[in-house]
Chains A and B, each alone.
Chain A
Amino acid sequence: MALPQASVFLAAGLMLAATAAWAQGAATVVSPPKTTDGPETVDVTLSPECRVPGSKLYTLAKLGAVKLALKEKRPVRVLAIGSTSAGPGASASYPVKLETALERSLPEVDVVIESRGLQGEIASGAGERLRNMVAEVEPDLVIWQVGTQDALARVDLDAFGSALDETVQWIKSHQIDVVLVNPIYTASLAADDYYSSVVRRVQEVATREGVPLVQRYEAMRYLSARGDKGEEHMLGKQFRLNDLGLRCMAEHVTRAITLSLLQPDPDATGSAPGAIIVSPKDAAAKASVPPRPAGQP
């Protein structure tokens, strides 16, 4: 997949972008040029197998704490919480991919990922555990894959929703950003009303609390409907889709974060030496960033 020319272009592009930003004395968010707008247009900046229309992939919101870290030019500390956090040694694991993808999108920024799994806690218990993790890691951003364990335990929906809401509020109250990632899509749960409600609750909380959401469920449903080319999975279609979903998650999360960072910040004052968020067109013009900065191994 990794064409040598593409890598060279990519590296050159990123270096140029970094230099340009350094010259200006501010952090840069590289955003690839947008494709023609349209709800069903796939996002071509993603790896081919991960391409999903933006409308199905994320809802965006401000990320004040990360922006502040960029402005202060310090490493961005990320706490990734979720169920599939394999080890740092596994080059294909989600935390490693996420770190790589984020550092590609934020060229001169050091991203430090701490990943943690929950061990059995659900609803308010999970919130409790998460608070202790946040206190331990003191991140700028929490990326939380939420809902899986609660769905497996068939937790009461209101208990789940209010616990999630409270925890997100708590994280925000400490000037830490949150990105929520909802649970996976798989065919055997497509008609499960309870499961769909869990997915919906995550979405509702994200909207209510104004935090970005990565719609893993929608993205995987889109990918599952996209036809069935490619290698067969020994265990069948659902397991293949699941592998793909896991492979793409880091890219999808990165995309949602990058675009959220480009959201206009109404609180920003003109006089403050803010982070220069390079608009897609400018970034392309200045640094000739190739249209696929993230997710290439």
Chain B
Amino acid sequence: MREPNAIDFWRGLALVTIFVNHIPGNTFERYTYSQYGISDAAELFVFLAGWSIGIATRGRDGQPEPRLKSVLRLLSRTVEVYRAQITTMAIALAMIAGTALYLDNPLLLEWHNAGGFFADPIQTMVGFVLLTHQLGFFNILPLYVVLLGIAPVFVLVARVSRVAALGLSVALYASSLVFEWNLPAWPGEGDWFFDPLCWQVLLVLGFVAQDVNRHTAWMRLWSVRLVPVGIVIVVTGIALAVLEIRPDPMMVPEPRLVFTFDKTYLSPARLIHFVGVLLAFQTLYAVLAPRLGPVTGYLVSLGRNSLAVFSIGSLLSLAAQLIRFSTGGGVLIDLFVVGSGLFALGFTAWFVEWRSRKPRSSSQPA
């Protein structure tokens, strides 16, 4: 088990934020930081994933592990995430269908993009397995599968030259913005909710930043010097979010996606805002960790088991939505669903760690 650290802490916070934000309309949504900026928890999650790849593909001494081992490690992680996506989607669809039957209410079948599955199961089943049919809120793991799938390319290129890896990534990002490249959704029209061709830039940024941070002192120095810039960006983000100021996508010049605030394509405004958040809050962990007591331990344990916590979290968000709908909602219901959800997330993290300890100790003779 890893010692508490900033990465797991922030990832834990991102997981809690995503859980709360995936119950649309609930009372606590407005207390999450996503409501006060241009970027949100998704950016943090993907950036930290990149940072973690940097840690995972090196030994404790900082030496990169053999290439083949890194590739296999990433492949194995890709399979794990794919499996998690298929399992959670299947359970989610069953939860929606089951609730619709139980309440005798076909309206529920139209739940965020699930309608396609129930209306046209023959094609949609194929799209489901190919990850091209995504439910609302169940679209982060497909992104993650693709990102982990292409990560070996960037990891291996970065072994030769970090600049080349970053250059390749930025070039792909920029072209996707200009030419509106995205993976297609199927069946149904449109594209992926999270465009992997754009979002990969955050993963590579996280990966390269971890590498540079480990190697050289200048990044640490400069990131501290740039804290004021980060704070200005964060304050600007709060102002824009609260006053609901954003560019009109029909009025901006071409290429449109460079100027709009678009989540799908991770438009530059979101990226800049996220970097600002990073700069502004980079040193905060050292300040917060000792003062938050058990909260630190809680968030760190979530971050340490992020895949399991995320998967269970998506299902809990869905359950919370179904409960809010069938009961009519209200502050008390929100308190109940969010409270019990946060408890269940903590239990999930604990249970995963218990499970990984348990079999070994029981199989050994006393």
A residues at B contact (CB < 8 Å): 83-90, 93, 95, 114-125, 128, 131-132, 134-136, 148-156, 170, 174, 183-184, 186-189, 194, 235-236, 238-239, 241-242, 246
Contact = CB atoms under 8 A, between A and B. Distances in A.
A188 B103 contact: yes
Interface stretch (B158-166, B187-195, B283-291, B343-351): B187-195
A1 B139 CA distance: 41
Contacts of A86: 115-116, 119-120, 123-124, 187-188
B358 to A, nearest CB: 36
Given A86-B120, A117-B112, 19 more contacts: A83-B113, A84-B119, A86-B188, A89-B187, A90-B120, A90-B122, A93-B119, A95-B189, A115-B189, A118-B113, A119-B112, A119-B139, A132-B264, A148-B107, A152-B321, A153-B25, A154-B25, A184-B106, A188-B103
Given A87-B123, A153-B324, A119 B137 contact: yes
Contacts of B111: 83, 149, 152
B119 A120 contact: no
Q: Which of A119, A128, A151 has the most CB of B within 10 A?
A: A119
Pick the 3 closest A-B CB pairs, nearest first. A87-B187, A120-B136, A135-B249
Q: Which of A86, A123, A194, A242 has the most CB of B within 10 A?
A: A86
B189 A88 contact: yes
B211 interface: no
B101 A115 contact: no
25 contacts: A85-B115, A86-B119, A86-B120, A86-B123, A86-B187, A87-B120, A87-B187, A89-B123, A90-B187, A117-B190, A119-B139, A120-B137, A121-B24, A151-B107, A152-B108, A152-B321, A153-B25, A154-B324, A184-B106, A189-B105, A189-B107, A241-B106, A242-B106, A242-B107, A246-B119
A87 B124 contact: yes
Contact of A87 (B105, B116, B193, B325): B116
Contacts of A174: 250
Q: Which of A88, A132, A187, A239 has the most CB of B within 10 A?
A: A132
B187 A153 contact: no
Interface string B67-110: 00000000000000000000000000000000001011111111
A167 to B, nearest CB: 12
Contacts of B189: 85, 87-88, 95, 114-116
A116 B120 CA distance: 16
B11 interface: no
Contacts of B256: 135-136
A150 B116 CA distance: 18
A188 B106 CA distance: 9
Given A84-B110, A183-B107, A132 B193 contact: no
